Structure 1
Amino acid sequence: MDLRHLETFVAVAEESSFSRAADRLHVVQSAVSATVRNLEREWGVTLFHRTTHRVELSPEGRALLGEARAALAAAAAVGHAVDEVRGGLRGTLRLGIMQATQGQGGLSVAATIAAFRAEHPGVSVQVRQGGSAEQAERVRTGELDLTFLGLPDDALPGLDLTVLAEPELLLACHPEHRLAARKSVELKDLADEPFCDLPPSWGIRIANERAFAAAGLPHPLAYEINDLATITDFVTHGLAVAIMPSFMIAPGRPVALVPIRRGAPRFVVSIATPTRRPAGPAARAFVAMAQRHAYTAPPDE
């Protein structure tokens, strides 16, 4: 067994497909199948249950996946140390991002990646988008090296968080809505409003549900949508209201934004690395770059 065998096992597990794993590793599918068979023979276990349409980890495969990822991480740490000694960063950085229209908490992810690549051209950045709760778990399991998160917390189990911003969450409604002209609203004012919100694993949805639960109020969800532009569209046509930061609404859209007082949902934009394994130099350099690009509001805002 060598590291390439472990990489193949992890790739098949993460892709749930021999063909997709082969594409990811830039080898032919027969080589992937042969490597997995050799590992199963060497270890004396069945790693995957194969059917015509699906590839699933066996219980033994699930038990060994974490150890395989840990071994690959340890080998990568040695490579990172060598790169640091040589004075340059190389390799691949697996980065998780959220969905946002005008940046995340005032931070442009694209600008951060561009600046990082200009400073460290030897590092390839692979991007994976998803909900914050899902991305956090991918960092814990080793599927991602680090991720941007938008969650109500600035402390999460198994993760080291660097807080980048804490944007205010506002009521977004149609300009002719009954609450649009208010200077501020309370959550109790919204108890009977039809809400449009993101899926349960998304940070803003988690923040909203926690705030309504803390106030002893229902979260009256009329529409669940996983696209911020569509949520804004529903608000502009008067179908629903939403609670979101202003940066998630494209400029020029006819949306009234009203501050929420007393128990407003809390939304924290952070970048997360795993607690149980040390972040490599590329990950540490990216965190530092994100901090430099994070938006800081002037004192009078």
Structure 2
Amino acid sequence: METRQLEYLVAVAEELNFTRAAERVFAAQSTVSAGVRALERELGAALFERDPHGVRPTATGVAVLEEARDALRAVERVRDAARGDGELRGVVRVGIFTNLTTIDLPGIMGEFHQRHPLVDLRLGPSPSGSTGLAEDVRQGRLDVAFVGLPDRLPGLLERELAVSPFVAVVAADHALAGRPEVSLAELADEQWVDARAGFGNRVTLDRELAARGISRRVPTELSDLGEIPRFVAARLGVAVLPALTVIPAAGAVVIPLRERIEWRLDAIARPRPSTAALAMLDLLSERFGRSRTLEAR
């Protein structure tokens, strides 16, 4: 089998469409289709189920896909080792949080590009937040991702970047707005604005609320964490968020939370990442470590 066939396999599995897969790998659709069929003949098994609505991997295809991704990463590492010119090449796919200006993502990626101009960057979020990003890394759809989950992730590389306390966010005219601090119990009966299920901040907060026997109602859920303070300002409810994620909004105020609840921001990757992905992890550790040093001063 050829490396190019494995690239076709991965592209079709991720796009679930031969036309989009062909565009992604800069090949004719017929070439991609023929390459996948040749791979299926060689392996003696169907890798995709095809119907008028599209394609999807078979059970065998899912198993082969995992190995194909590993093989392509291994080939990339071989090429990196053979070049010997010190220049990194390739693509790094990074899972990010959107609209969080407290994290200087453009600055970080700009610095990475200056250091490694031959590496292409592909950045994107997940509609299910940290949970989805972690699964995308585990399945090989992403090389590196930011996650904010409370538990360690077995089988993945993790770099702790920052730890941030949770704070309350209420409308400026809310009865609690002038308080020096507020407790979760005092917020429990309010309507809440929060991220959708699966986002790391919500996973952490839900666990803490359950441990304290506190239930709440969340009528407003968002897939954009940075927008929550604006919805709070519009009096749709209160919020409790990691301080690092709070983007100031006119009409909303931040109040320290009486309980000490922490949110951990990590960068993750699969074991034995490509040289370019490892360089991204190193830069993230460096940049966030630099921020901690400045804050300590």
TM-score normalized with structure 2 length? 0.92
Alpha-carbon displacement from aligned partner over 1:204-230 (angstroms, at most 9, x marks no partner): 111111111111111321111212354
Q: Report the Cα distance in structure 1 between the residues aligned to 2:268 and 2:277, rounded to whole angstroms.
A: 10
Instruction: Show the counterpart of 2:170.
Output: 173
Q: Report the Cα distance in structure 2 between the residues aligned to 1:137 and 1:49, rounded to whole angstroms.
A: 23
- 1:250 Cα deviation from its structure 2 partner: 3.7
Following superposition of structure 1 onto structure 2, how do residues 119-130 of structure 1 map, counting pairs within 5 Å?
119-130=115-126
Q: Which of 191, 209, 234 is the matching residue for 1:212?
A: 209
Asked if residue 134 in structure 1 is aligned to residue 128 in structure 2, the reply is: no
Alpha-carbon displacement from aligned partner over 1:108-139 (angstroms, at most 9, x marks no partner): 11111100101111111111212111111111
Read off the aligned partner of 1:232 and give its amino acid letter.
P
Q: Which of 150, 153, 156 is the matching residue for 1:152?
A: 150
Q: Report the Cα distance in structure 2 between the residues aligned to 1:243 and 1:182, rounded to whole angstroms.
A: 15
Instruction: Single out whichever of 235-244 and 285-294 deviates more from structure 2.
Output: 285-294
3-state DSSP class of the match of 1:86? coil
Following superposition of structure 1 onto structure 2, how do residues 62-101 of structure 1 map, counting pairs within 5 Å?
62-83=62-83, 85-101=84-100
Instruction: Show the counterpart of 1:240.
Output: 237
Instruction: Show the counterpart of 2:19.
Output: 19
Read off the aligned partner of 2:213 and give its amino acid letter.
G
Q: Report the Cα distance in structure 2 between the residues aligned to 1:252 and 1:219, rounded to whole angstroms.
A: 24
Contact 2:220 2:236 in 1 (8 A): no
Q: Which of 274, 284, 287 is the matching residue for 2:281?
A: 287
RMSD: 1.8
Contact 1:16 1:55 in 2 (8 A): yes
- 1:43 Cα deviation from its structure 2 partner: 1.5
Q: Report the Cα distance in structure 2 between the residues aligned to 1:4 and 1:90, rounded to whole angstroms.
A: 17
Q: Report the Cα distance in structure 2 between the residues aligned to 1:284 and 1:228, rounded to whole angstroms.
A: 27
Q: What stretches of structure 2 of length at least 5 have no aligned partner?
A: none
3-state DSSP class of the match of 2:101? coil
Alpha-carbon displacement from aligned partner over 1:164-187 (angstroms, at most 9, x marks no partner): 111222111101112111111121
Following superposition of structure 1 onto structure 2, how do residues 24-35 of structure 1 map, counting pairs within 5 Å?
24-35=24-35
Aligned identity (percent) is: 37
Instruction: Show the counterpart of 1:143.
Output: 141
Contact 1:99 1:228 in 2 (8 A): yes
Instruction: Single out whichever of 288-297 and 88-97 deviates more from structure 2.
Output: 288-297
Contact 1:215 1:263 in 2 (8 A): no
Q: Report the Cα distance in structure 2 between the residues aligned to 1:86 and 1:230, rounded to whole angstroms.
A: 44
Asked if residue 273 in structure 1 is aligned to residue 273 in structure 2, the reply is: no
Q: Report the Cα distance in structure 2 between the residues aligned to 1:251 and 1:4, rounded to whole angstroms.
A: 48
Q: What stretches of structure 1 of length at least 5 have no aligned partner?
A: none
- 1:263 Cα deviation from its structure 2 partner: 4.8
3-state DSSP class of the match of 1:143? coil
Read off the aligned partner of 1:125 and give its amino acid letter.
L
Alpha-carbon displacement from aligned partner over 1:130-158 (angstroms, at most 9, x marks no partner): 211111111112221111112224x2212
TM-score normalized with structure 1 length? 0.91
Q: Report the Cα distance in structure 2 between the residues aligned to 1:34 and 1:188, rounded to whole angstroms.
A: 62
- 1:279 Cα deviation from its structure 2 partner: 2.1
Q: Which of 106, 112, 124 is the matching residue for 1:110?
A: 106
Asked if residue 164 in structure 1 is aligned to residue 158 in structure 2, the reply is: no
Instruction: Single out whichever of 74-83 and 205-214 deviates more from structure 2.
Output: 74-83
Aligned residues between the structures? 292
